[in-house]
């Protein structure tokens, strides 16, 4: 099955769908409209449970969605008690820990006042499932949503910076696979929203008070959400930046002309000394995204004037803008990668004046070494 976010400038829906199975064509599905002023989230796990059967303005569903579950033996109650998620994708521990946990983390950041319990995502028996949607504590901007996409469970029980797997530089990533086994016991790594294997992500912005080619933006990025840059790609553009275009590079050959490879180069280098390098990465990230946000009103005002003359003029203008900032972003990110190699070469640290320091490891890591090895590395006096 799969979950989908479906939106236009006026409303947003969440839809969940699963095939009818071997020997049958088609799929069963249910879709619910998210109330105005609320937010929802889904992360590789069905989330729609009970739904209204007679409210077509806010809920739509395939006519056999309940019937098929009965035929399969997955549901035998009254129609009004039917739960799509429980019938077609009942969550196991992996679904809770790897999928629903990401929903929980987004919700707890958007609405701290709710003080959402972790019991459900920790698999506590009888725990109340997470709501399908919540009302955030404040209205969210597109930049707020970008930051919600940047999450490693910071400051929670699942914070990956705290255990030995984080290494000396508090790396909030764990290399796959998600589960591993020691002495016949299965353990897991956390699966955060920000993860190293992300191919691309985006934040879609749709505004009803502007013409579609201007009001719709795909803030698009490649690679890990925490160390990427969301670049504005207006929905009416007729060309994409060459660095983001299909065919510029492939998965098996590195290219400095490819946004995918440039961003992966920076993030993978950053992972080696994360707590220090990510500060430099976030600084440039905020500069670029901040400049995009600052320029947005004047870019769109100019586009609107052109649109009044001819929609095509506005489309051409926004195409040129999106291509320009996309390629410029990749160029700036390549420069960032070069700067990081110079600054952190061979475990050293160069300051802005070029002075070389030898910071070594954090004291907390040295203490772990001593706790683990005792006197093995202790310096002694030779008589």
pLDDT tens for each residue of the chain, 383 residues long? 999 999 999 999 999 999 999 989 999 999 999 999 999 999 999 999 999 999 999 999 999 999 999 999 999 999 999 999 999 999 999 999 999 999 999 999 999 999 999 999 999 999 999 999 999 999 999 999 999 999 999 999 999 999 999 999 999 999 999 999 999 999 999 999 999 999 999 999 999 999 999 999 999 999 999 999 999 999 999 999 999 999 999 999 999 999 999 999 999 999 999 999 999 999 999 999 999 999 999 999 999 999 999 999 999 999 999 999 999 999 999 999 999 999 999 999 998 888 999 999 999 999 999 999 999 999 999 98
Burial of 102 by CB count in 10 Å (0-12 exposed, 13-18 middle, 19+ buried)? buried
The reported pLDDT for the residue numbered 352 is 86
Tokens of 15: 């839809």
> What global pTM score does this model have?
0.94
The reported pLDDT for the residue numbered 301 is 98
Report the side by side order of strands in the sheet with 2-7: 2-7, 12-19, 27-33, 59-61
Q: Which residues make Cβ contacts (< 8 Å) with residue 304, sequence separation at least 6?
A: 210, 211, 214, 314
Contact status, residue 104 vs residue 74, Cβ threshold 8 Å: no
């Amino acid at each position: 099955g799969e979950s989908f976010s479906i939106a236009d400038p006026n409303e947003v829906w969440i839809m969940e769908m699963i095939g009818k199975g071997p020997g049958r064509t088609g799929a069963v599905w249910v879709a619910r409209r998210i109330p105005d002023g609320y937010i929802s989230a889904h992360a590789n796990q069905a989330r729609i449970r009970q739904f209204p059967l007679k409210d077509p303005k806010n809920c739509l569903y395939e006519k056999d969605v309940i019937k098929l579950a009965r035929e399969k033996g997955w549901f035998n109650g009254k129609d009004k008690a039917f739960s799509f998620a429980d019938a077609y994708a009942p969550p196991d521990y992996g679904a809770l820990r790897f999928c629903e946990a990401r929903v929980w983390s987004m919700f707890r950041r958007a609405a701290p006042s709710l003080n959402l319990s972790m019991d459900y995502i920790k698999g506590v028996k009888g725990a109340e499932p997470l709501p399908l949607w919540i009302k955030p504590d404040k209205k969210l901007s597109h930049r707020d949503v970008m930051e919600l996409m940047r999450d490693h469970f910071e400051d929670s029980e699942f914070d990956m910076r705290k255990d030995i797997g984080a290494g000396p530089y508090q790396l909030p990533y764990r290399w796959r696979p998600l589960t591993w086994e020691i002495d016949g016991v299965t353990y897991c790594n956390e699966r955060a929203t920000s993860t190293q294997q992300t191919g691309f992500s985006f934040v879609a912005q749709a505004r009803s008070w502007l013409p579609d080619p201007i009001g719709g933006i795909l803030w698009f990025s490649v690679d890990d959400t925490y160390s990427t840059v969301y670049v504005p790609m207006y929905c009416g553009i007729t060309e994409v930046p060459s660095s983001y275009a299909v065919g510029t590079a492939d998965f098996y050959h590195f290219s400095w002309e490819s946004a995918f490879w440039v961003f992966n180069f920076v993030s993978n280098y950053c992972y080696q000394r994360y707590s220090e390098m990510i500060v430099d990465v976030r600084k440039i990230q905020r500069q670029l995204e901040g400049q995009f946000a600052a320029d947005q009103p004047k870019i769109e005002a100019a586009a609107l004037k052109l649109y009044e003359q001819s929609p095509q003029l506005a489309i051409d203008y926004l195409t040129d803008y999106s291509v320009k900032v996309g390629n410029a972003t990749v160029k700036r990110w390549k420069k960032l990668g070069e700067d990081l190699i110079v600054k952190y070469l061979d475990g050293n640290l160069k300051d802005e004046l070029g002075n070389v320091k030898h910071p070594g490891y954090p004291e907390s890591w040295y203490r772990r070494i001593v706790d683990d090895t005792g006197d093995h590395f202790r310096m002694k006096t030779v008589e």
